[in-house]
Amino acid sequence: MKSKFNTNLKLIHSSIKSGKEHLTIDDKKTKYNLEDFWRWNMSDLISNATRGILAEFIVATAIGLDPKAFRNEWDAYDLITPEGIKIEVKASAYIQSWFQKEYSKISFSIKPAHDWDSETNILGDEIKRHADVYVFCLLKNKDQDTIDPLKLEQWEFYVVPTPVLSDYGGSQNRIILSKLKKIAVPVEYIELNEAILKASKYEK
């Protein structure tokens, strides 16, 4: 049976949406639009998945990326600065969406991985950390009544050059906060871009 896929075609990226696009039936609009989907799907900013994407967006705003730029979740790293610095963003928090008897223990994934090219669907041979810099984003507020991930003062950021992380973490899959603090000091949002630029210039 002949494949229905044209293997010569490049990956087709979705266009930037306004939120006003409607669900349709035979080209007739329903009363529901994309903004309704975003509200339904993304309003819980405390949830692990949404918080991680929000953290990427926060870091993106700090480095001056166009907010209308398209996020590609399949790249080997999360962000790239106008200077060409490749960034991996990780997020964690003490408070979760579910019922808790105690605060969550803070740790971040640092698992090395193959890179994957979404344009060719080819998996790279080497397992490593592909970004130049890691940014660990901690939603530090411990008060369930006042926690709000949109308030940037409730976050702190640990910026680590990837060679430093690899020397310290080796092939480990996760790093806990106490160990992270041995190789990085927290910075505030307004200091984040400068910290990333500095970390990118690290030399052994």
- Position 162 scores a pLDDT of 96
| DSSP secondary structure, the chain, as one string | ---SS-TTSPP-PPPPP-S-PEEEETTEEEEEEHHHHHHHHH--TTSHHHHHHHHHHHHHHHTT--TTSPP-TTSSSSEE-TT--EEEEEEEES--SS--SSPPPPEEE---B--EETTTTEE-S--B---SEEEEEEE----TTT--TT-GGGEEEEEEEHHHHHHHHTT-SEEEHHHHTTT--EE-HHHHHHHHHHHHT---
pLDDT, tens digit, 9 for 90 and up, residues 102-159: 999 999 999 888 766 556 656 666 788 989 999 999 999 999 999 999 999 999 999 9
- 190: its two tokens: 């307004």
Tell me, what's the pLDDT at 1?
46
Could you tell me if residue 201 is left (phi over 0), alpha (psi between -120 and 50 degrees) or otherwise beta?
Answer: alpha
Of residues 92 and 116, more confidence is placed in 92
User: What pLDDT, on the 0 to 100 scale, is given for residue 122?
Assistant: 64
Confidence at 2, pLDDT banded by 50, 70, 90: very low
Contact by Cβ (8 Å): 139, 92: yes
Residue 5: pLDDT band (50, 70, 90) is very low
Instruction: Give 48 or 11, the one with higher predicted confidence.
Output: 48
Higher pLDDT residue, 92 or 203? 92
The pLDDT of residue 204 is above 80: no
The top-level CATH class assigned to 44-200 is: alpha beta
30/162 Cα distance (integer angstroms): 48
pLDDT category at 100 given cuts 50, 70, 90 is confident
Q: Does residue 14 register a pLDDT over 60?
A: yes
pLDDT band at 9 (very low <50, low <70, confident <90, very high): very low
Q: What average pLDDT does the segment 38-60 reach? A: 94
pLDDT value for 113: 83
Whose tokens are 């991996």? That residue is: 88
Given this model, what pLDDT does residue 123 score? 66
